[in-house]
Amino acid sequence: MDSITTIETFIQHIPKAELHLHIEGTLEPELMMKIAKRNEISLDYESVDEIKKAYQFSNLQDFLDIYYAGANVLRHETDFFDLTWSYLTKAHSQNIVHTEIFFDPQTHTERGVAFSTVITGIHKALEKAQNELGISSKIIMSILRHLDEDSALETLKEALPYKEWITAIGLDSSEVGNPPSKFARVFEKAKTEGFETVAHAGEEGDAGYVREAIEILKVSRIDHGNRSLEDELLIKHIVENKIPLTVCPLSNLKLKVVKEAIDHPLLKMLNRGMVATVNSDDPAYFGGYINENFLAMSEALNLTAKHVHQLSRNSFIASFLTQEEKSKWIRETDLYYEQYHGRIE
């Protein structure tokens, strides 16, 4: 640790929580090929390189098309365990000490894979990571917003036997044309059942989508939230109510939400007093896990050790950990910053 003299090594070693991570989006080409072969599923790609070449997108829907095609290889509990464990080992190598993982049950149940198969595989990997790697975790079940309300309500019903495993209900997939208000009854029911709630909003949808997620779905935090900066009254509400934003820089670049890294609003969010956090979203598809996201922003926006420290603190503040657990990790990040920030070149 005494060799920490660059922002890159500072980013590598500071404790972090990841709050916006789609487990299906961690399916690396090598693992996709391995699982496809194991399950005797033919792919449209002959090699890992071909898959990597396909990971070029011009918008969110382009990405979702290949994302759902990749998820098709996942059929058995072992597949979901292997997928989750692969991410967790990577997370451990980047000093992620807590992670809150999204999974999309409808992606799997719609093609005949049982809800129990999906969540049991994920849960077993999370337990193993807690015991062997010291990584704590939460599970967030996401509703696919391009499907109808009835499908969402049925999925919520399927989740109820696993309430002790699932912390929150989320909302993801194709944003434009599928506003948060479409799922008002679903989120009201989720709240009644004791779930926390979060929602993707303001990625491709405008600031009104963010406002709906807050006012109608009554979410605890906003996933993405970039376009909330278009509405001054909304910014004021987010800041005053300390509503966190789980920001995903490399995802935003890959999906053309921002044109260039230098255009990313992360620093503006911090400067406005928003509880912004850095996350990797779908790292296998977007070219980087959490540290690569931090590093890309440090290079483009000239983030200092102070900024990185604030983002790390925010990740724990915004998490669903207990207050005692949050305080423990915030102290750890503070001590780390105090010890090393003066040495960063």
Mean pLDDT lowest among 39-53, 78-92, 143-157, 270-284: 39-53
Residue 20, marked binder: yes
The pLDDT score that the predictor gives to residue 264 is: 98
The pLDDT score that the predictor gives to residue 224 is: 98
Instruction: Give the pLDDT band (50/70/90) at residue 45.
Output: confident
Instruction: Give the pLDDT band (50/70/90) at residue 2.
Output: low
The pLDDT score that the predictor gives to residue 107 is: 94
The pLDDT score that the predictor gives to residue 1 is: 54
How do residues 270-323 score in pLDDT, each as one tens digit? 999 999 999 999 999 999 999 999 999 999 999 999 999 999 999 999 999 999
Residue 307, marked binder: no
Evaluate if pTM is beyond 0.75. yes
Residue 200, marked binder: yes
Over residues 157-174, mean pLDDT:
97
Instruction: Give the pLDDT band (50/70/90) at residue 52.
Output: confident
Catalytic entry in 18, 24, 28, 203: 203
The pLDDT score that the predictor gives to residue 4 is: 74
SS (H, E, C) the chain: CCCCCCHHHHHHHCCEEEEEEEHHHHCCHHHHHHHHHHCCCCCCCCCHHHHHHHCCCCCHHHHHHHHHHHHCCCCCHHHHHHHHHHHHHHHHHCCEEEEEEEECHHHHHCCCCCHHHHHHHHHHHHHHHHHHCCCEEEEEEEEECCCCHHHHHHHHHHHHHHCCCEEEEEEECCCCCCCHHHHHHHHHHHHHCCCEEEEEECCCCCHHHHHHHHHCCCCCEEEECHHHHHCHHHHHHHHHCCCCEEECHHHHHHCCCCCCHHHCCHHHHHHCCCCEEECCECHHHHCCCHHHHHHHHHHHHCCCHHHHHHHHHHHHHCCCCCHHHHHHHHHHHHHHHHHHHHHCC
How do residues 226-269 score in pLDDT, each as one tens digit? 999 999 999 999 999 999 999 999 999 999 999 999 999 999 99
The overall average pLDDT reported for the chain is 95
Instruction: Give the pLDDT band (50/70/90) at residue 332.
Output: very high
The pLDDT score that the predictor gives to residue 321 is: 98
- Better-predicted residue by pLDDT, 144 or 47: 144
The pLDDT score that the predictor gives to residue 3 is: 67
* 203 catalytic per annotation: yes
Residue 148, marked binder: no
Residue 22, marked binder: yes
The pLDDT score that the predictor gives to residue 226 is: 98
How do residues 170-207 score in pLDDT, each as one tens digit? 999 999 999 999 999 999 999 999 999 999 999 999 99
Domains for the chain: give ranges and CATH numbers: 7-343 (3.20.20.140)
How do residues 6-41 score in pLDDT, each as one tens digit? 999 999 999 999 999 999 999 999 999 999 999 999
Share of the chain above pLDDT 70, in %: 99
Over residues 142-149, mean pLDDT:
97
